[in-house]
Amino acid sequence: MQREAQKIRFQKHPKREVSYVLDTNPNYTNICTIGCLFCPFRRSPHDPDAYHLSSDAVMSRLERASKEGLTTVLLQGGIHEKVTAEYLIELVKRSRREYPSLHPHFFSAPEIYHAAQTSTISVEKLLEMLWEAGQRTIPGGGAEILSPRVHAQISPKKITPDQWIDVHRKAHNIGFTTTATMMFGHVEDPEDIVIHLEAIHALQEETGGFSAFIPWSYKRANNPLGKRIQTEAPAELYYRIIAFSRLYLHNFAHISASWFGEGKEVGAQALNFGADDFGGILYEEHVHKAADHSLSITIEELRSLIESQRFTPVERDAFYQKRILR
């Protein structure tokens, strides 16, 4: 399978190049009321360390990113009543106006769906408003595994698999480019992984709006699900999923490996199993950190890891287009 995955990878990307992005992943709130069992990051509204940032506070995070020379901000948060359509629109408008050098890669499908509900407008209307405000890409978070059986066990209050697909369908039809993700290594069976891949494969056939697929493994520390899951996914499973997804998702241009989610060496090795992208430097990240999984990397080290696998590192933007190397 590895050999066939690499064959397809080089058919799509003949050069021995691996892309990466200069990004950061701040959060505007850690308050969330839907209680996914795998999440160590969420707080209840009355917890002493709960927060919901004002737009000014979010802009200060973007100012720091701009000063660091980053190009993309993946901004996400929890689900609660203060996450309204108006709040999301304000963040996009201010980011485009005040920090035009930063690409706003904001808000997962569950955030968009629930903000539309909170503001009593349709998802399509909110997406149109985000587009008008200047947003062009949407991250693929909140998918976990798009299997009703898995959803019922680990995130029953979150939007359903069909609703996640529908948010991305509506986004694609407006013109957004989005990514697709998958969190594995918990309660799923191999059949559930196939269900997930088929769901995003089918939508890609319909709309062509996905730019990349990004899988990562579940981290069991500091969350309720970890009491049921005794071990975390081994590297061999990650390699198989990277390779299998490259074979299955023939209509996706990019498969992304993760130094952050799986560790630097495992992530680098995954470049030999069909991946052509290596994610970003994640200047700021809090969700995995809450699960006692925290790594950092410099641009030089990230490029060195890519080169260690005999690939050439190439900086990209949020659309997976090459940028001038720094």
Residue 324 domain-assigned?
no
Residue 199, amino acid? A
Residue 321 domain-assigned?
no
Average pLDDT in the chain: 93
Structural domain containing residue 295: 2-315
Residue 160 domain-assigned?
yes
Q: How many domains does the chain have?
A: 1
Q: What is the pLDDT of residues 224-275, one digit of tens each?
A: 898 888 888 999 999 999 999 999 999 999 999 999 889 999 999 999 999 9
In DSSP notation, 229-282 reads --SPPPHHHHHHHHHHHHHH-TT-SEEB--HHHH-HHHHHHGGGTT--EEEE--
Q: How many CB atoms lie within 10 A of CB 191?
A: 10
Nearest CA to 86 among 122, 59, 126?
126
* Chain centre to alpha carbon of residue 143: 9
Q: What is the pLDDT of residues 128-173, one digit of tens each?
A: 999 999 999 999 999 999 999 999 999 999 999 999 999 999 999 9
* Cα Rg of the chain, angstroms: 18
Residue 322 domain-assigned?
no
Overall residue count recorded for the chain in this entry: 326
Nearest CA to 148 among 159, 137, 132, 134?
159
3-class secondary structure, 167: helix
Residue 273 domain-assigned?
yes
**Confidence at residue 231, expressed as pLDDT on a 0 to 100 scale:** 85
CATH number at residue 74: 3.20.20.70
Full-model pTM: 0.94
Reported as type and span, the H/E element at residue 73 is strand 72-75
Residue 311, amino acid? F
Contact assessment for residue 201 and residue 249, using Cβ atoms and an 8 Å cutoff: yes
Residue 326 domain-assigned?
no
Residue 245 domain-assigned?
yes
Residue 60 domain-assigned?
yes
Residue 61, amino acid? R
